[in-house]
Amino acid sequence: MLTDSLIKPMTHQLSKPGLRTPRLSPRVRRLVENQTNSYLFEFDDRFTLWQDTGGATQVTDGAGVARADDLGPHGANLLQSVGAEEPPFLGSGVLDFNGSTHSIGLAFNGGAGPSDCSVFASWNLMDTQAILYNQNAGLGTGAYFGVVQDGQAAAPYQGAGNPNHYVNGTMISPNSRDGLHTALATGGFECLEARSCDLSLWANFNLSAFQTTGNAWRADAQLARLAIVPSSLADEHRALFEDWSVEAVI
């Protein structure tokens, strides 16, 4: 379990717009620094983003992101080596996925993801369907979760441990693709948590990369922050991650 006796509950005490050094960030980084299979990304921090996978040239406004540094303990950076598929960095502090070509992903530490984890992210959804997370970066079927699809009652996951999905701390019920679409289609950034994911059979973790025959389901969305942490969070720490995920974009 994540522990830090200095951390107090801070639910909904969000930063002001334009704040470039959000105050929750140091606390969240301290929480995950010694955790096995925890990963942390802050796309509003341009000093962690690069135009090349080797980390030689920092990103500029509008440039494609080839690498996003993992601020957790493992250095499992998000990478995209194909220039045309790099999501651009917007000066407002987000990655901007176009819904057709953009994706980025990481290789899990030790070759496998955590068996019981929560994935927190701040998403601003632009379209009616997307697969936000998946294990396969190419064509074909594979494991996935965070599936958004207007009017579709099917489950928003496959081969990912049947996680429940929460938006701003409220569980989506029914846990369906349409339920997720309704909760996220607000015209702004929302904290999406996928809780109790089993990613132990996943070697890779990809954002907006899943495709199936006849469907291109890349996300048309913006993303500001992402964390993969143990599901066994104390309530105050879960609230902290919820606030951290959106503090830089609200």
CA distance 204 to 249: 27
- The answer to whether position 158 is within a domain reads yes
What are the residue ranges of helices labelled H in 4-44?
Answer: 25-32
- The answer to whether position 7 is within a domain reads no
CA distance 202 to 144: 10
Query: What is the distance between the terminal CA atoms of the chain, rounded to a whole angstrom?
Result: 29
- The answer to whether position 8 is within a domain reads no
Nearest residue to 64 (alpha-carbon basis) of 95, 34, 40, 33: 95
User: How many domains is the chain built from?
Assistant: 1
- The answer to whether position 15 is within a domain reads no
CA distance 238 to 7: 11
Sign of the alpha-carbon dihedral angle for 120, 197, 67, 185: negative
- The answer to whether position 12 is within a domain reads no
- The answer to whether position 157 is within a domain reads yes
- The answer to whether position 4 is within a domain reads no
Is the CB of residue 216 less than 8 Å from the CB of residue 223?
no
Nearest residue to 110 (alpha-carbon basis) of 160, 37, 32: 37
The predicted structure's pLDDT at residue 67: 98
Q: Which residues pair with 105 in a beta bridge?
A: 79, 206
The predicted structure's pLDDT at residue 16: 34
Q: Which residues of 66-80 are buried (b: 16+ CB within 10 A; e: fewer)?
A: bbbbbbbbbebbbbb
The predicted structure's pLDDT at residue 11: 37
Q: 25-32 and 235-246 helices cross at what angle (nearest 10)?
A: 130
CA distance 164 to 146: 10
Q: What is the CATH number of the domain that holds 233?
A: 2.60.120
CA distance 192 to 122: 6
The predicted structure's pLDDT at residue 74: 86
CA distance 79 to 55: 10
- The answer to whether position 223 is within a domain reads yes
**Full domain range(s) for residue 97:** 25-246
The predicted structure's pLDDT at residue 17: 38
| C-alpha 206: how far from chain center | 9
The predicted structure's pLDDT at residue 35: 82
pLDDT in tens, the chain (250 residues): 554 443 333 333 333 334 445 689 999 999 998 787 899 999 999 999 999 999 999 999 999 999 999 999 888 999 999 999 999 999 989 999 999 899 999 999 889 999 999 999 999 999 899 999 998 755 456 789 999 999 999 999 999 999 999 999 999 999 999 999 999 999 999 999 999 999 999 999 999 976 555 556 889 999 999 999 999 999 999 999 999 999 989 7
